[in-house]
């Protein structure tokens, strides 16, 4: 878990760089609330203290990464308390939770505080994505614009560059794909995660966007919203993702399909612009089943070689 | 004869710290004869031997004191001349109780009249040689202790195509086999030729991990003029390379089916120490009464490769190696991956004691088992292609049937799963528990069926 926290540091620095001090407050609130909630839960349950495994701190940081920078801090704290109590400790703590706690916290907040959860402030830079050229206090995210069908006029190259370095609107930790990829490389190098889930997730999103024509080129879909953060840091959560290599590929592909289904759902029916968190939560529910489908091949069933 | 790289690689495996440098440069030394020995009747796999002596008897070096009591069983001989003080139940390294002959040894150990007459392996018949292996009480010296005469006498419908000599020694710390190959290559060669004769001239594959260049060189020299199909197969250093099934796959690319013995795919695997013991039994008529044990670890003053009579107490071995040092937290009989933690130094060595490790605070990490977080490291490490995570969770939840459905009976208890577990789960132990309860159930069903019909 400590390795994952280390891997998230580049993205955390980017968040502070783009959104300023409020990013620090938001991350501190979420991490403080999750760790405190974890401690209280363990005390009430009379179980071994578990805050030093850093899983609660990680949940807090990931939750903060999935929130808009201007969300009121009390709402963030509420989400953090929900994530730890309802999504994790009622099941018995780390190892027993069926759903990713940070994403469950975010889903809870998205439904409870829909307005603040979908209000975005401009980051400190001015990017290519502002088609009206209006210096408004609040703007849409790239995915919000895609959903409105407003993508066509933009300078794609500049936009992709902005998406890559993080000069766009969005949740705290998901804006800079570059910073996330640096952290992801660290996780792969340390063998904390394997390539299966991120590759199948991102490839599925790209292929879906290429063949279905989802309002923007595949690269824009991959770099927008939470795909990079979700694919490398959330979908790869050990507890809530399958254990076998084949299972991981299925899981990643499922995440990709659900993400794109939600992104391309008709906005008139209230479809959210972004579907990464819900898609991972849905696939979390399939994890036990996928594990059952994809048992490893026993040594005795190996093909003889001579 | 040629040397080749292992052509096939099994999936899984781990890289523990080997710590072989503590003893790999130390020549084998003989232990001065202890004053008392405790020779167990249950040193091998299968039925314990039937004790032939009683308190007060005098026995000679190499005299038969325990007779094999079934098809899968082995003779036991006196590892020194002396007087029987008692015959009593004693716990072995695994904690299982077995009859043990407590012997007070004589000063003079030069009389070898109790040995069997020497045989010439080139002239003796196949039957004579096989009978000698059986009479000498030889069993696999790599760890499991399967009676060698049973392995060397396959059923008539099975033919041995490959004799695989196991010199992998993949357990950390242990160097006994490595030193045997370096110092006694000629004896190993004679043992191999004897086994070849018994098995009707199979091809020979000598499997050695690539972290033992000196042993590879010694074996290359000893087998330089070997006739027929003989290859030294250099294996990559990877635990558990010495496992029978994985060694067969690594050397000849064959896969032993579930629940079958290696002979099902035309292979017989023997340890290098076993080969040397066979050479002794044939050349000089000496039964298996001594073996080399690596005494090592950071908790022993002077780590050594010691040749000691079977039945030497661990305390005598420790004293010979300068005694304990530091805060010794764990004493392991065998290697650290598959060996057994022993509760007392009063336990005595057997024909299968390959190592005795004294580990201090610095090497022993105590922890409690946490819930599985599903990281999948055990799954990647398991050389048997099992899902140790799911099996351990099933056993933890009391669902042995699910563990059985997931193939827990194929577990070789190598410990690769527990080795890398970030939640410190004692996964191998869960597997052992499941196997024990499944075996008990199968035995009860068998007994019930026998009663009925």
Q: Do B258 and A298 touch (CB under 8 A)?
A: yes
ω before B333 within 30° of 0 (cis)? no
Rg (CA), chain B: 22
Query: How does residue A132 score in pLDDT terms, banded at 50, 70 and 90?
Result: very low
Least confident interval from A150-159, A230-239, A244-253, B264-273: A150-159
| pLDDT at residue B227, as a whole number | 87
State which residue of chain B sits closest to A291, comparing Cα positions: B390
Residues B248, B254 contacting (CB under 8 angstroms): yes
Q: According to the model, what pLDDT value does residue B452 have? A: 81
Give the nearest partner residue to B387 out of A92, A239, A295, using CB atoms.
A295
Contact A238 B374 (CB under 8 A): yes
Under 8 Å between Cβ of B158 and B263:
yes
Residues of A in contact with B251 (CB under 8 A): none
Q: pLDDT of A266-296, one tens digit each?
A: 777 667 778 899 999 999 999 999 998 998 8
B354 touches chain A (CB under 8 A): no
> What is the spatial distance between Cα B288 and Cα B271, in angstroms, rounded to a whole number?
14
Say if residues A27 and A61 touch (Cβ distance below 8 Å): yes
Q: Does A190 touch chain B (CB under 8 A)?
A: no
* Alpha-carbon gap, residue A69 to A138, rounded angstroms: 11
Question: Which of A21-30, A122-131, A198-207, B261-270 bottoms out in mean pLDDT, i.e. has the lowest?
Answer: A122-131
Give the start-to-end residue ranges of the domains of chain B: 2-25+118-283, 377-452
Q: How far is C-alpha B115 from the geometric centre of its chain's CA atoms?
A: 24
Strand residues in B249-327 grouped as ranges (E) = 267-271, 290-296, 304-309
The band of A150, judged by pLDDT with boundaries at 50, 70 and 90, is low
A244 touches chain B (CB under 8 A): yes
What is the least distance, in Å, from the CA of A234 to any CA of chain B?
14
- Residue B416 banded pLDDT, cuts 50, 70, 90: very high
Q: What is the pLDDT of residues B36-61, one digit of tens each?
A: 999 999 988 888 999 999 999 999 99
Alpha carbons B285 and B403: distance in angstroms, whole number: 47
ipTM over 0.85: no
β-strands B36-40, B97-105: how paired?
A: antiparallel
Does B421 contact A at CB distance below 8 Å?
no
Q: Give the closest residue to B59 by CA, choosing from B88, B101, B117, B99.
A: B101
Q: Which residue of B has its CA nearest to A294?
A: B387
CA distance A305 to A303: 6
- DSSP for A106-127, written as a single string: HHHHHHHTHHHHT-EEPPSS--
Q: How confident is the model at residue B191 (pLDDT cuts 50, 70, 90)?
A: very high
**Chain A CB contacts of B253 below 8 Å:** 304-306
Partner A contacted by B257 (CB < 8 A)? yes
> Distances from the Cα of B350 to the Cαs of A14, B33, B98, B184, B320, in angstroms?
64, 16, 12, 21, 18
Kindly tell me if the per-residue pLDDT of B242 is higher than 50: yes
Least confident of A75-89, A214-228, B4-18, B218-232: A214-228
Task: Tell if the CB–CB gap between A92 and B249 is shorter than 8 Å.
Answer: no
d(CA A137, CA B338): 66
Name the residue facing A299 among B253, B265, B384 (closest C-beta): B384
Q: For position B309, what pLDDT does the model report?
A: 95
* Whether this model's pTM surpasses 0.90: no
pLDDT at A129 over 70: no
Q: Are B263 and B154 in contact (CB under 8 A)?
A: yes
**B373 contacts A94? CB cut-off 8 A:** yes
CA distance B420 to A56: 23
The minimum CA-CA distance between B423 and chain A, rounded to whole Å, is 9
What whole-number distance in Å separates Cα of residue A50 and Cα of residue A236? Answer: 21
Task: Point out the residue among A96, A244, A306 whose CB comes nearest to the CB of B371.
Answer: A96
Provide the pLDDT for residue A270. Answer: 64
Q: Is the pLDDT of residue B66 over 60?
A: yes
Q: Tokens 């209000």 identify what position?
A: A119
Residue A167 confidence (pLDDT):
62
Rg (alpha carbons) of chain A, rounded to whole number: 19
B191 neighbors B133 (Cβ within 8 angstroms): no
| Tens digit of each residue's pLDDT (9 = 90 or more) over A62-106 | 999 999 988 999 999 999 999 999 999 999 999 899 999 999 999
- Extract the tokens encoding A246: 């084949």
CA distance B373 to chain A (A): 4
Which among B245, B265, B406 has the least Cβ separation from residue A299?
B245
B295, two tokens: 């005494």
Q: Would the pLDDT of A136 be above 50?
A: no
CA distance B224 to B206: 13
What pLDDT does A127 receive?
44
- Name the strands in the sheet holding B64-67, side by side, starting at the edge strand that comes first in the sequence: B50-51, B64-67, B76-77
Q: Mind listing the pLDDT tens digit for each residue in A158-191?
A: 666 667 666 667 788 887 888 999 999 999 999 8
Two structure tokens written together for B252: 């000849």
Residue B79 β-bridge partners: none
**Residue B94: its pLDDT value, please?**
83
Tokens of B213: 């260049």
Output the average pLDDT for chain B: 93
The average confidence (pLDDT) of chain A is 85
Q: How confident is the model at residue B1 (pLDDT cuts 50, 70, 90)?
A: confident
Question: Is A21 part of the contact surface with chain B (CB cutoff 8 Å)?
Answer: no
Residue pLDDT, tens place only, B345-396: 999 999 999 999 999 999 888 888 889 999 999 999 999 999 999 999 999 9
Considering only alpha carbons, which residue of chain A is nearest residue B258?
A: A300
The domain spans of chain A are: 2-117, 132-293
Q: Do the Cβ atoms of B385 and A298 come within 8 Å? A: yes
Q: How many residues does chain A have?
A: 306
A296 with B410: Cβ contact below 8 A:
no
User: Chain B partners of A290 at a C-beta cutoff of 8 Å?
Assistant: none
pLDDT in tens, B95-143: 888 999 999 999 888 888 889 999 988 889 999 999 999 999 999 998 7
CATH class name, domain B2-25+118-283: alpha beta
CA–CA separation, B192 and A238 (whole Å): 49
Query: What count of residues does chain B have?
Result: 453
CB B376 within 8 A of CB A243: yes
Q: CB-based contact (8 Å) between A299 and chain B? A: yes
Quickly count: other Cβ atoms within 10 Å of residue A253's Cβ.
Answer: 20
Q: Show residues of chain A in contact with B265, CB under 8 Å.
A: 304
pLDDT at A220: 82
pLDDT score, position B33? 93
Residue B146, helix vs strand vs coil: coil
């Amino acid at each position: 878990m400590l390795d994952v926290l280390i891997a998230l540091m580049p993205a955390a620095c980017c968040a502070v760089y783009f959104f300023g001090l409020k990013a620090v407050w938001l991350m501190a609130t979420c991490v403080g609330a999750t760790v405190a909630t974890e401690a209280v839960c363990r005390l009430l349950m009379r179980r071994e203290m578990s805050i030093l495994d850093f899983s609660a701190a990680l949940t807090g940081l990931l939750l903060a990464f999935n929130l808009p920078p201007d969300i009121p801090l009390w709402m963030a704290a509420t989400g953090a308390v929900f994530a730890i109590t309802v999504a994790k400790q009622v099941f018995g703590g780390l190892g027993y939770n069926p759903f990713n706690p940070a994403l469950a916290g975010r889903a809870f907040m998205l439904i409870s505080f829909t307005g603040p959860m979908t209000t975005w402030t401009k980051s400190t830079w001015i990017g290519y994505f502002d088609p009206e050229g209006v210096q408004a206090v609040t703007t849409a995210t790239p995915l919000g614009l895609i959903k409105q069908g407003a993508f066509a006029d933009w300078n794609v190259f500049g936009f992709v560059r902005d998406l890559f370095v993080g000069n766009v609107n969005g949740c705290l930790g998901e804006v800079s794909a570059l910073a996330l990829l640096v952290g992801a490389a660290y996780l792969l190098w340390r063998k904390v995660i394997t390539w299966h889930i991120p590759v199948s997730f991102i490839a599925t999103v790209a292929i879906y966007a290429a063949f279905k024509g989802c309002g923007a080129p595949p690269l824009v879909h991959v770099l927008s919203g939470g795909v990079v953060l979700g694919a490398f840091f959330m979908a790869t959560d050990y507890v809530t993702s399958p254990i076998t290599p084949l299972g991981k590929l299925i899981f990643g592909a499922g995440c990709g399909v659900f993400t794109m289904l939600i992104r391309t759902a008709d906005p008139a029916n209230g479809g959210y612009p972004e579907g990464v968190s819900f898609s991972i939560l849905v696939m979390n529910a399939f994890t036990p089943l996928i594990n059952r489908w994809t048992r490893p091949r026993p040594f005795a069933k190996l093909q003889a070689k001579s | 004869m040629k040397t080749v790289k292992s052509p096939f690689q099994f999936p899984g495996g781990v890289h523990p710290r080997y710590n072989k440098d503590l003893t790999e440069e130390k020549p084998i030394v003989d232990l001065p004869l202890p004053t008392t020995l405790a020779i167990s009747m249950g040193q091998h796999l299968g039925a314990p031997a039937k004790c032939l002596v009683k308190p007060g008897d005098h026995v000679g070096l190499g005299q038969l004191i325990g007779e094999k009591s079934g098809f899968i069983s082995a003779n036991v001989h006196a590892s020194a001349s002396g007087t029987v003080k008692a015959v009593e139940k004693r716990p072995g390294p695994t904690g299982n109780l077995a009859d043990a002959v407590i012997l007070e040894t004589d000063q003079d150990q030069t009389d070898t009249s109790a040995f069997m007459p020497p045989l010439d392996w080139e002239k003796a018949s196949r039957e004579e040689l096989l009978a000698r292996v059986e009479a000498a009480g030889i069993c696999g010296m790599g760890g499991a202790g399967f009676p060698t005469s049973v392995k060397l006498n396959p059923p008539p419908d099975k033919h041995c195509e490959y004799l695989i000599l196991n010199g992998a020694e993949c357990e950390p710390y242990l160097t006994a086999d490595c030193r045997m190959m370096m110092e006694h290559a000629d004896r190993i060669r004679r043992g191999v030729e004897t086994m070849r004769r018994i098995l009707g001239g199979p091809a020979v594959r000598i499997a050695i991990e690539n972290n033992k260049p000196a042993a590879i060189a010694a074996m290359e020299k000893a087998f330089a003029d070997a006739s027929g199909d003989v290859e030294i197969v250099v294996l990559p250093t990877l635990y558990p390379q010495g496992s029978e099934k994985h060694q067969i796959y690594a050397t000849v690319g064959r896969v032993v089916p579930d629940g079958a013995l290696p002979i099902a795919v035309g292979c017989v695997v023997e340890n290098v120490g076993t080969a040397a013991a066979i050479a002794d039994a044939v050349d000089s008529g000496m039964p298996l009464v001594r073996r080399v044990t690596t005494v090592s670890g950071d908790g022993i003053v002077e780590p050594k490769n010691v040749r000691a009579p079977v039945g030497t107490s661990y305390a005598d071995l420790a004293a010979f190696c300068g005694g304990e040092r530091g805060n010794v937290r764990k004493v392991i009989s065998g290697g650290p991956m598959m060996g057994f933690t022993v509760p007392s130094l009063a336990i005595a060595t057997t024909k299968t004691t390959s190592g005795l490790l004294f580990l201090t605070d610095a090497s022993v990490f105590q922890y409690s088992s946490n819930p599985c977080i599903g990281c999948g490291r055990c799954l990647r490490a398991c050389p048997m292609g099992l899902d140790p995570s799911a099996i351990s969770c099933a056993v933890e939840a009391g669902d042995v049937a699910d563990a059985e459905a997931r193939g827990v009976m194929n577990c070789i208890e190598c410990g690769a799963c527990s080795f890398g577990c970030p939640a410190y789960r004692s996964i191998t132990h869960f597997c052992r528990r499941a196997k024990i309860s499944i075996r008990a159930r199968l035995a009860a069903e068998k007994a019930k069926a026998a009663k009925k019909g």
